[in-house]
Amino acid sequence: MSEAVTTPTHCPYCALQCGMNLRPADGSVEVVDRPDFPVNRGALCGKGRTAPAVLSSRVRLTGPLVRCPDTGALKSATWEEALAAVAEGLRRTRADHGPDAVGVFGGGGLTNEKAYTLGKFARVVLATSQIDYNGRFCMSSAAAAHQRAFGLDRGLPFPMEDIPRTGCVILVGSNLAETMPPALRYLTELKANGGKLIVIDPRRTRTAEQADLHLAPRPGTDLALALGLLHLVVSEGRVDEEFVRDRTEGWEAARAGAMAHWPELVERITGVPVPQLRDAMRMFCDAETGMVLTARGPEQQSKGTDTVGAWINLCLATGRAGRPLSGYGCLTGQGNGQGGREHGQKADQLPGYRKLDDPAARAHVAGVWGVDPASLPGPGRSAYELLDALGGDVKSLLLMGSNPVVSAPRAAHIEGRLRSLDFLAVADVVLSETAELADVVLPVTQWAEETGTTTNLEGRVLLRQRAITPPDGIRTDLEVLHGLARLLGHEKGFPTDPEEVFDELRRASAGGPADYSGISYRRIREENGVFWPCPEPADGAAHPGTPRLFLDRFATPDGRARFVPVVHRAAAEETDADYPVVLTTGRVVAQYQSGAQTRRVAELNAAAPGAFVELHPRLAERIGVGEGERVAVVSRRGRAVAPARITTAIRPDTVFMPFHWAGEGRANTLTNPALDPVSRMPEFKTCAVRVEPASPRP
């Protein structure tokens, strides 16, 4: 078939949002390389190449489902019946218990148009403050640290193309080879250009194997490690005094905090030898330019905001911020984790990254929406706190594009909270473990069947374009919200055309930190995406977008970055005699997030068929298990069972489990919901466990 019929679009999975072309094939589509898109330059991982498999009616939802009151089973229903049931469930809860008894939970994979409309629906139609989204579990700690230090949160303040041209990269808690395989080329190109790579990870991952220096700290000690490096920067006279004087505030307090973390103390806390600490500091400071990139490792901790802040302090003290080819950046995880939090899904935010408790922000957005600012509810609970409140004062929940039964910390408890609801409605493309608990399940369109924008980890606003017609019986999320709004008394204000929604989003974001007002579908198509902030100039000329932030000034009122003084503190849950081992969690290359979609792809399941427990040979010998034998991992919250994978690539005091699976191998049964006091991020990345054979040997 001719290449002329291909549709340029983007992968439905991670925040790279790799470019791809789609070509019709046997009622579905096939993926064709798109080498002109600069982020992945045609490269795709197995998840992206097999994404069309989830479009099949054999694995997806094909019509609405409503729970039968007589049998308790989900049965087929018409759209009219399903939407009426959802509207009645939400209306009844509001009437009986008030608007805040209705919760809304969104997803980091929703397009900007869906995220914007969901936030508007919650606050205008339901008048509830109880809305958050699973992106809270992704990079909220980095976002909070960005705001404190720079006055603005965008995952990367520079495009990916800058990474290979810097002098040294410190990669903290990221395994790009498994989580974002097409991005690994940026690190190999860095090394080919003579740059240095330092990887910090308790496991010797495929990414760590590429490093010039690999540091393997004990999980939960990244904060001490960053402070130890800053101590060495000071003690060896490597501070960029001119940059600190001219472009920052608060250095003396941050310096004092770092000087309390001398190298020998940091070695005792982290397990990283002092010579390796010195090597890392010198490698970073000897390069003319440098970057620190963090991911979920340091961020998914109960001190994640301070941990990221410590890495930012290192960048500021060495002049590795606000300059070309230097800076701190966060590698956003979910496909629209960046855009999803900018436009109204988070409990405390309005579109354009405006604060919900800011009177001027409320007045601006209320004007776009045509409502009284006083009618908008205030900030609500964060994601875990909202899920934990289900069945208590939150009686009903509308959930779109998330699977917390698998992805939430203390997952068995959250599953119980979902079961205790008076009413649960789920909109999804597949019958996830969470959808199986719903009173109503609404089948919605997928990436190839709809048009909408996403914002990738660089802050580049992209356009996914519809390539095929969705099957009969499937509606878009915008059509779902339009239908529910109409049934709940709002005939206008919820259009179903994504470009019309985006135009309203542009107006709502205008003048805000994440200003999209100068971006249009036309510009995105013509320019391969547009970087925000991109305001609409008063003179009508096109703003070029902002690929690189902070080169002239930071986004604080005085233009100066802020050092934030931090000190190391222990994880929320330390090991002891009963739970002597640390569990850390993460991902594998062939699965994605909760696995709701990728676990339905035969090729991906063949590569990664189920959960496993990675442990060191010394630990395996001590507990008496061999390769492939079933191991039980037990925390204070529950028990998970999976086969053992024995490897020297992990610390002897640590075990690793991927979190993609439900059932007895569900890693998040074990994880600790202790929250960061600023970001409200749960402590996914470290908890105390014991490890034992799943059953006695004969």
β-strand partners of 434: none
Q: What is the pTM of this model?
A: 0.96
Is the distance from CB of 281 to CB of 232 less than 8 angstroms? yes
Q: Per-residue pLDDT averaged across 521-531, rounded? A: 97
Please write the tens of the pLDDT for every residue from 600-630. 999 999 999 999 999 999 999 999 999 999 9
Q: What is the pLDDT of residues 271-329, one digit of tens each?
A: 999 999 999 999 999 999 999 999 999 999 999 999 999 999 999 999 999 999 999 99
User: In this predicted model, which residue has the larger pLDDT, 172 or 333?
Assistant: 172
- Cα separation of 591 and 660, whole Å? 7
Instruction: Please report, for the chain, how many H helices and E strands are present, in that order.
Output: 23, 30
Residue 2: pLDDT band by 50, 70, 90 thresholds? Answer: very low
Distance CA 29, CA 48 (A): 13
Which two three-digit tokens encode residue 295?
């991911």
pLDDT score recorded for residue 695: 82
What confidence tens digit (pLDDT) does each residue in 51-91 have?
999 999 999 999 999 999 999 999 999 999 999 999 999 99
Q: State the average pLDDT over residues 212-239.
A: 98
- What pLDDT, on a 0 to 100 scale, did the predictor assign at position 540? 75
d(CA 109, CA 131): 16
Predicted confidence at residue 538, as pLDDT, reads: 80
Q: CA–CA separation, 100 vs 394, rounded Å?
A: 7
pLDDT over threshold 90, residue 188: yes
Looking at residues 544-573, what average pLDDT do you find? 97
Residue 669 CB partners (closer than 8 Å, separation 6+): 410, 411, 412, 635, 637, 638, 639, 640
Q: Give the pLDDT score at 341.
A: 87
Query: What mean pLDDT do residues 120-143 have?
Result: 96
| C-beta separation of 9 from 448 below 8 A | yes
Residue 698 has pLDDT above 80, yes or no: no
Buried b (16+ CB within 10 A) or exposed e, 28-44: bbebebbeebebbeebb
Query: Length of the chain in residues, anyone?
Result: 698
The mean pLDDT of 520-533, rounded to a whole number, is 97
697 pLDDT above the threshold of 70 = no
- Contact of 173 with 200, CB cutoff 8 Å: yes
Q: Which of 297, 331, 343, 330 is nearest to 106 (CA)?
A: 343
Which pLDDT belongs to residue 1? 38
Model pLDDT, residue 696: 65
Between CA 366 and CA 356 the distance in angstroms is 11
pLDDT computed for residue 124 by the predictor: 98
pLDDT digits (tens, 9 = 90+) for 574-594: 999 999 999 999 999 999 999
Strands of the 327-330 sheet, one edge to the other: 213-215, 196-200, 168-172, 291-294, 327-330
The C-alpha atoms of residue 570 and residue 303 are separated, in whole angstroms, by: 9
Contacts of 191 (CB under 8 A, 6+ apart): 197, 210, 212
pLDDT averaged over the chain? 96
If we measure between CA atoms, which residue out of 468, 529, 173 comes closest to residue 339?
Answer: 529
- Inter-CA distances, 262 with 273, 276, 292, Å: 12, 14, 21
The identity of residue 19, as a single letter, is G
Residues 341-378: tens digit of each pLDDT: 899 999 999 999 999 999 999 999 999 999 999 999 99
Backbone angles phi, psi at 28, to 5 degrees: -125, -145
